[in-house]
Amino acid sequence: MNETLLLEAIQQTMPFGKYAGRKLLELPEPYLVWFNQQGFPQGKLGAQLALIHEIKVNGLEEMLKPLLNAKA
Residue (of 3, 1, 4, 6) closest to 48 by Cα position: 6
pTM (2 d.p.): 0.90
Dihedral over Cα of 54, 57, 36, 30: its sign: negative
Per-residue DSSP letters for 52-70?
Answer: HHHHHHTT-HHHHGGGGGS
pLDDT, tens digit, 9 for 90 and up, residues 21-55: 999 999 999 999 999 999 999 999 999 999 999 99
Element (H, E) at 38: helix 29-38
Q: What percent of the chain has pLDDT over 70?
A: 96
